[in-house]
Amino acid sequence: MTEARNYGLGDSAAVAALVEGRHGDPFALLGPHTVDGRRVVRTLQPGALGVELIDARGLPVAELRRVHDGGLFAGIAPDDAAYRLRVRWSGASHDTHDPYAFGTLLADDDLARMADGSHVELFRVLGAHPVTLDRVHGVRFAVWAPNAQRVSVVGDFNSWDGRRHPMRKRVPSGVWELFVPGLLAGARYKYEIWGADGSLTQRADPVALAAELPPATASIVADPTAFHWTDGDWLRRRGALHHAGSPLSIYELHAGSWLRGKNNEELHWDDIGERLIPYVAGMGFTHIELLPISEHPFGGSWGYQPLGQFAPTSRFGTPEAFARFVDRCHEAGVGVIVDWVPAHFPTDIHGLAHFDGTPLYEHADPREGFHQDWNTLIFNLGRNEVSGFLVASALAWLERFHVDGLRVDAVASMLYRDYSRKHGEWVPNKYGGRENLESIDFLRRVNQLVAERHPDCMTIAEESTAWPGVTQPVDQGGLGFTFKWNMGWMHDSLDFMTHDPIHRRWHHGEMTFSMVYAYSEKFVLPLSHDEVVHGKRSLLGRMPGDEWQKFANLRAYYGFMWGHPGKKLLFTGGEIAQPREWNHDAQIAWELLDHPLHLGVQKLVRDLNQLYANTPALHAWDSDPRGFRWVIGDDAEQSVFAWLRMADGGRTVLVVSNMTPTPRHSFRIGVPEGGRWREALNSDATEYGGSGVGNEGERHAQAVRAQGFEQSLVLSLPPLSTVMFVAD
C-alpha cells in the first residue's frame, strides 16, 4: 500500500472494497483528486496491462502506475487540462474519457420530485439517455435503488464486469447515476446490484426505453427523440372521437397472433401494419386495442405480466417501429388503445422483485404484496416513488407513442385488499376496511393527470365489481375513468345465448337486466380475449344448435350488442366466427373466409359498424337514459326483445331480436311515429348466411295502437335474428 499512499489511497479497506466491487461511493476514490497540492488521477481497470493519460490530440502526457493487483491505477496529471485514458489490454487498447471526471448529473429538483412521486416525466430522468456533457458524447444512466450497497452499470462495453463502472449514489433520493463516455444508442446494458441482503444480481432497467428480444433480458439504450411524427391532424381532431356521445367500436387484438409469418414467426410492426390497418379501417372499427405491449419475459402471459413499463416489447420491432405503426394508424383514421398493467408484476430475477435486496417495488407483507391467482407481486402504491413510477409510465405511452387511450387491466384486484383472498389472508386498511386506499388515490391521480395533460385521450377500466363512480370525474368523488367495461352485460348475455332456445324463456332477464344499471357508468360492451380462452370455447362454439343455428345465434347476438347502449369491443377472430379458442402461438384462421357462413359474419360486423357510426341514435345518447326505451322487454315466452334508440335530432331506430329459431310473421310492434321505417339491417339476410326472411326493405306504420304507442308496424321476425329499422 506504500505506492497507493503516494496517491492519497491510504485507506486499505476502502481500496479493497473498491477493487472487490463492494464500495458504495466510487467517486470518493476514482477520477481526478487533489492530493498534497497535486492533481492525482485514479482509475479502476481490472485486467488491463497498463493505463496512460493522453491529451486532446491523443498524445501521452503521463503513465499511471498500478497501485493494486485488482486493476487500480493512479498517477499525477501534469496540469488541469482535460484528459482521456488510454487503456492497454492484451492485444488491444482503447481511448476513453474518464467517467469519474464528471460531476453530478441529475438536478436536485428532479430527484426531489421523483422522491415525492410528482415527477410525471420520469423516463426523461431515470434510465439510459444519450447525452453530451462538456462536448463529450455518451450515455447517462440513472436507477433508483436506495437500499443497495453498490450499483454498477454493466454491458458489452465493459464485458459485463460490475467492477468497471460503479455508480454514484445521490443522497437522500437513493438514485444511482453515472455517465459512460463514448457509448451510443443500441448498447445493451443492465445494472449489477449488490443488495442490502448481500445478494448480487444483474437487473434490467425499470425505466428502459427498449429491451432485448426475450428470452434475453438486457435493456437497450434508446434515443427517445428518434421518430418524426406526421399525425398532427389526427391529434387535433381526436378529442371529438373519444367522448361519451361518439361512436366507439374497438377491435381488440394480440399483435403476435393476428397474423404470422410463413414459418409461424411473429411479424414486425411494419408487416403487421401493412395488413392490419387497412383491414380494421375497412371493417369500420374506430380503434384497435392492443393486448399489453410493454416488455414482458413470458410470452404466454400475453403481456399481462410486464417488467418494462416504459419499453414496447422487442418481439415486434424497435420503439421507433411501434411509433411508426401508431403514426400509420392515425393516418388511416384508426385510433390506438393499449392495455396497461399497473396492478402487479412477475417475480423474474432480472426484474423488479426485491430489486435492491429489499421489497422495494412490492409490499413486504405477502398478504399485501403477493397475488395468489397469478403468482405475481403487487406494487406498493403507498410508496411515492413506486406510485410516481407507474404514473409516469401511463403518461409516457400517451406522450412518447401518441396512443389514444389506456385500458387499465385488473382494476378490481387493485381496489380491494381482500380480492381473491380468504379471511386472514389480507390486511385491512387504516380504517379497518377492505378498500385499498392507496390504489384508489393512485387511479384517481392517473386519470386526473391524463385529463389535465391529454384531455383528448381515454382511460378505460376493466372493473368487474359494482364499485361506484368508476367513470365519475375525480372532483365528484369518482375514479375518473372515461369508460368502464360492462362485465355484467357480457356475462349475462353470453350465458343467455349459450342456452338452447327452448330454455331461454327461463333466462329472459339476463338480456334485460343490464338496462337497470346501463346509465350508472359510461360503458363499453366487451367481447374480449378473456371470453375465448381457458376452455370457455369460442363465441361461435358457445352458441347452441347445428351449424346453421350456431351462426344464426352469433349473428343475432352481434346485432343485439350493436343495438344495445354502450361502446363496442370485439376480440380478433370474433368477426369471422372462428370456431376454435384463441391461441396466442398461432394466427387467426383467415382461411375460414373461404366458407360463406364465416364470410357472412364478417360482412355483418362490417355493416353493423357502418350503421352504428352513421346513425346518431345508436351512439350519441349511450350514456343518457333519454336514448333508450323498451318496446317489448317482457316477452319471455317467445324470447322477443324490442327497443328504441334515440338521439337529439337523429332518426329513431327500432331494434328487434328474435332469439328462437321460429320465424314470427305478422308480428305487431308499436312505434313512436308514423310513416316509412327502413329495414337498415337484418342479421338473417342471405348475404350474411341467413335464410332471407325479412320485410322487403321497409315497413309503413299503421294507426293501430300497440305497446302503448298510437302507431305500429307489422313485421316478419326472422329466426334467430336481430333486425334494425330506421324511421324516415
Would you please indicate which residues are annotated as catalytic (active-site) residues?
409, 462
> Which secondary-structure segment (H or E) carries 487?
helix 487-498
With beta carbons less than 8 A apart as the criterion, state whether 186 and 290 touch.
no
With beta carbons less than 8 A apart as the criterion, state whether 669 and 632 touch.
yes
**Using the 8-state DSSP alphabet, how is residue 719 labeled?**
S
- In terms of DSSP bridges, do strands 523-527 and 483-485 run parallel, antiparallel, or are they unpaired? parallel
Cross-strand pairs, 140: 129, 179
Please, what sign has the CA dihedral across residues 362, 367, 371, 372?
positive
Q: Which residues, other chains included, contact 76 with Cβ-Cβ below 8 Å and sequence gap of 6+?
A: 7, 38, 39, 40, 41, 62
List b or e across 193-215, with b for residues whose CB sees 16 or more CB atoms inside 10 angstroms.
bbbbeeeebbbbbbbbbbbbeee
- In terms of DSSP bridges, do strands 405-408 and 458-461 run parallel, antiparallel, or are they unpaired? parallel
Residue 474's region, left for phi above 0, alpha for psi from -120 to 50, else beta, is alpha
With beta carbons less than 8 A apart as the criterion, state whether 150 and 7 touch.
no
Task: State the cell numbers at 583.
Answer: 391461441
Q: How many CB atoms lie within 10 A of CB 427?
A: 13
In this structure, which amino acid lies at residue 17? A
What is the C-alpha separation between 619 and 278, in angstroms, rounded? 24
What is the C-alpha separation between 482 and 306, in angstroms, rounded? 24
Answer whether the bond into residue 565 is a cis peptide, omega within 30°. Answer: no
The secondary structure of 402-415, three-state, reads CCCEEEECCHHHHH
From the centroid of its chain, how far is CA 318? 16
- Helix, strand, coil shares of the chain as percentages rounded to 5? 30, 25, 45
DSSP secondary structure, 355-422, as one string: TTSS--SB-SSHHHHEETTTTEEEB-TTSHHHHHHHHHHHHHHHHHH--SEEEETTHHHHHBTTTT--
> Which secondary-structure segment (H or E) carries 540?
helix 539-542
- Number of residues written out for the chain: 728
